[in-house]
Amino acid sequence: MVDNLTFQKLSYGLFVLTAKDGEKDNGCIINTAAQITVDPNRISIAVNKANYTHDMILKTGVFSVSILSEKATFDIFKRFGFQSGRDTDKFAGYEANVKRGENGVLYVTEGTNAFISGKVVDALDYGTHTLFIAEVTEAEVLAEDPSATYAYYFANIKPKPAAAPASEEKKVVWVCKICGYVYEGDPIPEDFICPLCKHPASDFERVER
Ligand code: FE
């Protein structure tokens, strides 16, 4: 058997993945960044093809990964995770919280504890995702706050759904496990896509409240 809950036991981190194509800066949230070898110093990232940042990295071969810490606020996740860089400038009004690395790509200095820049040496097509292998070109520690894990995000950063008044009759809603968006109604349509974080209906849980 394959129990999907098993994969929630993996200790994923959370990262802002950034890229620059011409004058366009963009970024998204990923939970898959890891060092593969030290000499040469190489890292891997798996990026969903639906992200505009994915296309920019495929084209330019250059990116940065900002490592989110336990100081990261939900606003960072909303800014980089719940909107598309195709129609928004995710860095608008955010200038005080970013710096430009040696590769010209912005990295995030707020709610992060380090960043790593990479130059792509391989891009492997895995259906919904591309696995990028990259040579490290720059890496710096920014703060000593502990890194935010995926589990920490769910326990401490994502807002808790509001409790319903006790007197009211029980109502069934579906809550997005990723961002907390509430779908009013039951059942949730199979093809429903979360309007905030774009995750599918399978990432919603049925809640009576
Ligand atoms: Fe969502």
Ligand 1 centroid – CA 110 distance (Å): 23
Report the distance separating Cα 192 and Cα 31, nearest Å.
Answer: 23
Distance between Cα 121 and ligand 1 center (Å): 33
Domain boundary among 113, 128, 153: 153
- Give the Å distance between the CA of 153 and the centre of ligand 1: 14
| Ion ligand 1, residue ranges at CB < 5 A | 176, 178-179, 181, 194, 196-197, 199
Among 133, 153, 173, the domain boundary falls at 153
pLDDT at residue number 166: 64
Q: From the first residue on, what is the mean pLDDT of each consecutive set of 10 residues in the chain (209 residues)?
A: 88 96 96 96 96 96 98 95 88 96 98 98 96 98 96 90 66 88 90 85 90
Does one domain contain both 12 and 29?
yes
Same domain, 65 and 146: yes
Shared domain for 56 and 145, answered yes or no, is yes
| Structural domain boundaries, residue 197 | 160-208
Of 115, 130, 153, the domain-final residue: 153
CA of 197 from ligand 1 middle (Å) equals 4
| Cα 22 to averaged position of ligand 1 atoms, centre (Å) | 30
Number of folded domains that form the chain: 2
Residue 148 tokens, joined: 């935010």
Separation of CA 101 and ligand 1 centre (Å) = 31
pLDDT value, residue 111 = 98
Answer yes or no: are the C-beta atoms of 108 and 14 closer than 8 Å: no
Q: What is the pTM of this model?
A: 0.85
> Is there a domain that residue 38 lies in?
yes
In the reported structure, the alpha carbon of residue 165 is separated from the centroid of ligand 1 by a whole-number distance in angstroms of 24
Q: What is the pLDDT of residue 39?
A: 97
Distance 71 CA to ligand 1 centre (A): 21
Residue 2 domain-assigned (yes or no) = no
Under 8 Å between Cβ of 207 and 177: no
- How remote is the CA of residue 195 from the centroid of ligand 1, in Å? 7
DSSP the chain: ---GGGGGGS--B-EEEEEEETTEEEEEEES-EEEEETTTTEEEEEEETTSHHHHHHHHH-EEEEEEEBTT--HHHHHHHHSS-TTTS-TTTT-GGGEEE-TTS-EEE-SSEEEEEEEEEEEEEEETTEEEEEEEEEEEEE---SPBPBHHHIIIIISPPPPPPPTTSPP-EEEEETTT--EEESSSPPTT-B-TTT--BGGGEEEEE-
The verdict on 147 and 171 lying in the same domain is: no
* Half-sphere CA count of 42, side-chain side, radius 13 A: 12
Q: What is the CATH number of the domain that holds 98?
A: 2.30.110.10
Beta-bridge mates of residue 110 = none
- Give the distance (Å) from ligand 1 centre to CA of residue 140: 32
Q: What is the dihedral of CA 130, 133, 135, 140, to 10 degrees?
A: 70
Asked, for residue 105, whether it belongs to a domain, the answer is yes
- Cβ atoms of 164 and 182 closer than 8 Å: no
φ and ψ of 8, to 5 deg = -75, -10
